Amino acid sequence: MQLSLTNKIIIVTGGAKGIGLGICNVLAAEGAIPFIVGRNEEDNNKAVNDIKASGKEAFQVVADLTKPEDCKKAIEAIIQKCGRIDGLVNNAGVNDGVGLEKGNYEDFVASLHKNLIHYYLMAQHALPYLIQSKGAIVNIGSKTAETGQGGTSAYAASNGGRNALTREWAVELLKYSIRVNAVVVAECFTPLYETWINTFENKEEKLASITQNIPFENRMTTVDEIANMVVFLLSERSSHTTGQIIYVDGGYTHLDRSIS
């Protein structure tokens, strides 16, 4: 399938590691130019250099997305460098365990800044350029919006917000032919996931109990499997798909797990 993404400038927040890095790698392989927005310059540069070493192009800008002014500056830097934006992947976030029993106002609001508010700000600042290019937006989300997890109110609320914004923006941006979709992840082994699993004493058992409940092949979703869907949704091959929340999760969210 020809995705026609050659030389398209695609912003990937949190593109230096995990799912974001996987998306950047698939974008580069398709001839697009991923523009990483991430907080750690060393990680950003490593990702860019690895992509360049494979003969492809990529750029990075350092930004702490919890700071609204950094979101604005990142878009300005991207425009200064490339002069256009063809797509935005809102991906950066963290499951930070701000619960109802164990949580407070300050941590709840801080978590919204880590997980939701920059999704809005990045889309808002990128919008004039996406209008020019008739670009596409993909929001990465988590199953916790639907299934809950317990002890992570702010992250679950943020993911509910990510899904709602996907529908809301799909409607608002119809007039510009900008498509907006979400890709929802359940279990994908990334640096973030590893940090979380390490919080359990019996992490091997915990991991085994999770994977055995994933209906399709009792295994985690790979970063590439998520990235392939994201890149398809950014491409013209999905030209009549908008406002969709797509679960790349091996059936975890919707299938009967008692049969797996």
Nearer to ligand NAD, 139 or 235 (CB): 139
Dist. CA 92–CA 12, nearest whole Å: 8
Smallest separation, CB 34 to ligand NAD (Å): 13
Nearer to ligand NAD, 18 or 250 (CB): 18
Smallest separation, CB 54 to ligand NAD (Å): 19
Catalytic positions:
155
Report CA-CA distances (Å) from 72 to 112, 127, 229.
Answer: 18, 12, 27
Applying CB under 6 A, which residues contact ligand NAD?
14, 16-20, 38-40, 43, 63-66, 91-94, 114, 140, 142, 185, 187-188, 190-193
Nearer to ligand NAD, 129 or 252 (CB): 252
What's the N-to-C CA distance of the chain in angstroms? 33
Smallest separation, CB 142 to ligand NAD (Å): 3
